[in-house]
A and B are shown apart, each in its own frame.
Chain A
Amino acid sequence: MLRDDIIEYSLDAHHSEEKGVELRKTIWKVTFLLTAITAVEVALGSMIKQSSDYWQIIKWIFIVLTIVKAGYIVLSFMHLGDERKGLKYVILLPYFVFAAYLIFILLNEGTAIFGALSEVAN
């Protein structure tokens, strides 16, 4: 049965065949990029041990690469990049504010607790 009580909008829900060809090209490009980044991460991870002097740099490379990957997934695959500017901010801003606060407070506290525990142990 066809339901007509569902009010659903479909703005930007269609595109032409030519646009489709173009979009698919972008999709495959992003796929290649995400796969390459993952391969690089695994290669770095198995080559460089955590005890190595370079580990700090590698760790930051991992974090940056992860954020790049996440950016491509959200902006390209989830099409947030194509949405209105207002929507982008409504989604991203509250998230980043909360996440940044949590990271700051908990990693600080974690290190402090480690310090306190080591003091007790000694």
Chain B
Amino acid sequence: MAGHASKEIDSKTLWGGKISPFSTSYGKLMMWFFLVSDALTFTGLLISYGFTRHDYLGSWPIGEETFHSLPLLEGNYPLIYVALMTFILIVSSVTMVLAVEAGHRMDRKGVTKWMIATIIGGFFFVGSQAWEWSHFIHGSDFGKVELADGSLAIVKGNFGEIESFEVTVAGHHHMVGDKVTEDLKHEYQHAIADGHLHNGIITLHDGSQAKVNKMANSDMTLIVKEFGGDHAIGSEIEGAEAIAMYEEAVNSGEANRVIYGANMKQNEYGPQHYGQFFFFITGFHGFHVFSGVMINILILLGVIKGTYHARGHYEMVEKTGLYWHFVDLVWVFVFTFFYLV
């Protein structure tokens, strides 16, 4: 029971070798050793990210240009969403440490309350990451464009709404004169990526051809990421010139002049490696968060059942807390090195 106030360790709790190294329990020390090895894994991943980034320098994407969206809102909010995710994770780390503190006072209700709060925070974080992935995979309205000189540029601006496709040559589904009004942006982007848009005439997937009725894009800026011949890395092209260059690529009828979103082979944000690192590092971290939430749920069940109370101490909460704080710790570094610098 409670009351191990003195530093004397009773024989029942000594390790097999009749001592307790560093006066810690076996479980806690092993959790620390595991965390050191896991920390080295993440260190290796982040440093290899740095290594690859140093290979590319100028053409590597910049966090605030890539991550600037919020769910349900239009507009430009650089880094606000990831900052919010960071905040959620820090808060859930706080609720975890409060659960550990309550455990030290044998306050079962307190532990239950704070553990539940921690689990909710964890689910929020995993959910946010799912949104972030989905957004990253689907990409922006404009994609990344290959200009006439071979330079690659990312695009900012207001996307003119597509009103309809007016069929001029019949295909399997559509008759001449039909107006297609559904799934327009999706169809439009697919056609451009595959080179099926030529001088304002789109070839739909059923083989029919249609005239695109679309409002003009506006406020466009092209930021050059890869040198092709005429435009230096980092130079910005604005106004009518930007729109003309973009439209040329879109209407060229050549495949892969415009790339949307991200997959394992290419992405609209930067070099191929960038997408792979994004998926692997945030994915590996997200997997840690997910397993952390699952472990927290198991421990919460033990708390509610009274297992730890009967044992006389809440060290299991402390150990799972170590893991949970570690997940927060890793995110602090991912946030800095992936999003900020």
B43 touches which one: A23, A50, A98 (CB < 8 A)?
Answer: A98
Q: Does B2 lie within 8 Å of A109, measured CB to CB?
A: no
A111-B53 Cα distance, complex, nearest whole Å: 9
Question: Assuming the A-B contacts A8-B25, A20-B105, A95-B36, are A13 and B313 also in contact, with contact meaning beta carbons closer than 8 angstroms in the complex?
Answer: yes
A36–chain B nearest beta-carbon distance, Å: 11
By size class, the interface of chain A is 35 or more
Interface assignment of B78: CB less than 8 Å from any CB of chain A: yes
Contact residues of A: prevailing secondary structure? helix
What residues of B have a CB within 8 angstroms of the CB of A41 in the complex?
Answer: 83, 335-336, 340
By size class, the interface of chain B is 35 or more
A15-B2 Cα distance, complex, nearest whole Å: 9
B51 touches which one: A74, A76, A106 (CB < 8 A)?
Answer: A106
Using a CB-CB cutoff of 8 Å, which residues 88-106 of chain B contact chain A? 90-91, 93-94, 96-98, 100-106
Using a CB-CB cutoff of 8 Å, which residues 220-265 of chain B contact chain A? 234
B78 touches which one: A8, A45, A113 (CB < 8 A)?
Answer: A45
Contact residues of B: prevailing secondary structure? helix
Using a CB-CB cutoff of 8 Å, which residues 289-341 of chain B contact chain A? 307, 310-315, 318, 321-322, 325-326, 328-329, 332-333, 335-336, 339-341
Nearest B residue to A59, CB-CB: B341
Q: Does A110 lie within 8 Å of B54, measured CB to CB?
A: yes
A85–chain B nearest beta-carbon distance, Å: 9
Interface assignment of B79: CB less than 8 Å from any CB of chain A: yes
What residues of B have a CB within 8 angstroms of the CB of A45 in the complex?
Answer: 63-64, 78-79, 339-340
Question: Assuming the A-B contacts A15-B105, A106-B48, are A114 and B340 also in contact, with contact meaning beta carbons closer than 8 angstroms in the complex?
Answer: no
Of all A-B residue pairs in the complex, the 6 with the closest CB atoms, nearest first, are: A110-B54, A10-B313, A9-B25, A87-B22, A9-B13, A110-B51
